[in-house]
Each structure stands twice: as C-alpha cells, then as structure tokens.
C-alpha cells in the first residue's frame, strides 16, 4: 500500500469516527492535522495525545484519552500495514 492509499484509509477512519456527532464533513482540518502527525509517530500514546489536543483545540471539548488511544491504534495499524511492518 502506498502512502497515498494509507492517507485515504486514515482519513476515512477519522471521518467516520465522528466523536462530536457533527457528521462526516465536520472535521476536515482536524483530520488533516492528525494524518500529518501520523506520518512521524509510531507510538499510540503519543498519537493519542496529538488527537486529543487537535480536537480539543478546535472544538473546546475534551475527548477521553482512552478513546483517542483506540483511534491511534487503528491509525497506526493502517500505517504499519502500508509499510508492510506487520
């Protein structure tokens, strides 16, 4: 899987997550920020912190860290699959 395909899968995953029930078009900026961070982060806890901060900054609402870790694990799994690390 190429980087472009990985990004598409990660975007799809984040769009369908919809943590604040805004609909799939409500998170364009946040999705882009998280996918960009995914490029350089392999640790689920580190990525979860980024996810939590990005969404909190945009919406002034807090997402429980456990939910962010769960999403981070899914995203990193997509990344590892793309790089054939699994």
Domain ranges of the chain: 3-82
Give residue 27's pLDDT. 93
CB 75 within 8 A of CB 67: no
Answer yes or no: is pLDDT of 86 > 80: no
80 Cβ partners below 8 Å, 6+ apart?
A: 86
Q: What is the pTM of this model?
A: 0.90
Q: Per-residue pLDDT tens for 39-64?
A: 999 999 999 999 999 999 999 999 99
23/45 Cα distance (integer angstroms): 26
Q: Tell me the per-residue pLDDT of 2-42, one tens digit each, with 9 for 90 and over.
A: 789 999 999 999 999 999 999 888 899 999 999 999 999 99
* Residue bearing the bigger pLDDT, 67 or 1: 67
In CATH, 3-82 is 1.10.10.10: no
Which pair of structure tokens corresponds to residue 58? 């945009």
């Amino acid at each position: 899987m190429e980087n472009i395909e990985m990004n598409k899968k990660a975007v799809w995953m984040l769009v369908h997550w919809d943590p604040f029930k805004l609909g799939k078009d409500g998170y364009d900026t946040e999705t882009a920020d998280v996918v960009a961070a995914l490029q350089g982060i392999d640790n689920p806890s580190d990525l979860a912190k980024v996810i939590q901060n990005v969404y909190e900054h945009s919406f002034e609402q807090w997402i429980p860290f456990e939910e962010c870790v769960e999403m981070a694990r899914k995203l990193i799994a997509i990344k590892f699959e793309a790089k054939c690390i699994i």
